[in-house]
Amino acid sequence: MNIILLGPPGAGKGTQARRLVEERDMVQLSTGDMLRAARSSGTEMGKRVAAIMDAGELVTDEIVIGLIEERLTTDNAPGGFIFDGFPRTLAQADALGALLTRLGQELGTVIEMAVDDEALVARITARATCGDCGEVYNDITKPIPEDGKCLKCGGSDFRRRADDNEESLKKRLLEYYKKTSPLIGYYYAKDLLQTVDGLDSVEGVAAAIAKALKAAE
Ligand code: AP5
């Protein structure tokens, strides 16, 4: 089943997507990860998007739709695709619908991860990620192990994102409310929306997502 995880920055989309990949043979399509890979590879496109991302603004629809189209047409996803951080605008949502139809696929469900803004500031400013395998840590809820080695891959290259500061987060939140939150109504009207409590523990959110996936089967 193809699904969208929808929610503001720090809602826990990446954390839950990684679990679904491990547990259900799904493929995570995170436009944020794709854009970070592009910027670190130093391509022209990467250079163009770096400043936009650090400022907390949205990259153009054309670029992200192109990235998603490329992956959707080349990747094999036996358990379905998880769209994480995409779509983020109504134009992206329309483009995804058209793309899936063209490929003879459909969207199974859209899971909104509801959280409050104060929790997001605390989560985002405490986040660290393993640079080798992408495992997500949090200084408060899931600290980097004392031996300095990633629990998943043993790597020791932990990174903090340039946009994970209070100022960028405020901008990212503003972009979310202006451009992405209308998607909640968009998918509700298409009978695809389900909402889970993103403030619950990681385990609790995972259980609520499992229930939502069952309901959409
Ligand atoms: P992107 O990488 O997509 O960032 P985001 O949407 O801002 O989301 P985050 O990755 O910050 O948060 P998350 O929801 O994945 O939370 P996580 O699981 O890490 O986008 C970055 C930028 O790229 C954008 O600003 C934009 O410029 C550009 N971009 C990307 N896609 C685009 C698009 N489609 N169109 C245009 N531009 C685009 O969790 C956060 C923290 O909380 C972690 O520390 C984690 O351990 C912790 N945590 C998670 N769940 C819980 C829980 N239940 N309880 C306690 N702590 C938790």
- 23-55: pLDDT as tens digits: 999 999 999 999 999 988 888 888 889 989 988
Q: How far away, in angstroms, is 13 Cα from ligand 1 center?
A: 6
pLDDT of residue 43: 87
**Can you tell me the distance from the alpha carbon of 145 to that of 152, in angstroms, rounded to the nearest whole number?**
11
pLDDT of residue 58: 96
Substitution candidate for ligand 1 out of 4, 5, 6, 13 with most atoms within 8 A of CB: 13
Catalytic residue among 36, 88, 123, 179: 88
Is 60 touching ligand 1 by the criterion CB < 6 Å? no
Question: Is 127 known to be catalytic?
Answer: yes
**Can you tell me the distance from the alpha carbon of 173 to that of 30, in angstroms, rounded to the nearest whole number?**
18
DSSP state letter for 70 = H
Considering the entire predicted model, what is its pTM?
A: 0.95
pLDDT of residue 160: 93
The CB-side HSE value for 149 (13 A sphere, CA atoms) comes to: 5
Q: How far away, in angstroms, is 9 Cα from ligand 1 center?
A: 4
72 phi-psi bin (left φ>0, alpha ψ -120 to 50, beta other): alpha
pLDDT of residue 140: 92
Beta-strand (E) ranges in the chain? 2-6, 27-30, 81-84, 107-114, 127-130, 136-138, 158-159, 193-197
**Can you tell me the distance from the alpha carbon of 29 to that of 110, in angstroms, rounded to the nearest whole number?**
14
Residue 189: partners with Cβ closer than 8 Å, 6 or more residues away: none
On the 0-12 / 13-18 / 19+ scale of CB atoms within 10 A, 15 is buried
Catalytic residue among 48, 71, 152, 161: 161
Residues of the chain with confidence (pLDDT) below 50: none
**Can you tell me the distance from the alpha carbon of 27 to that of 33, in angstroms, rounded to the nearest whole number?**
13
Is 141 touching ligand 1 by the criterion CB < 6 Å? yes
Residue 131 amino acid letter: G
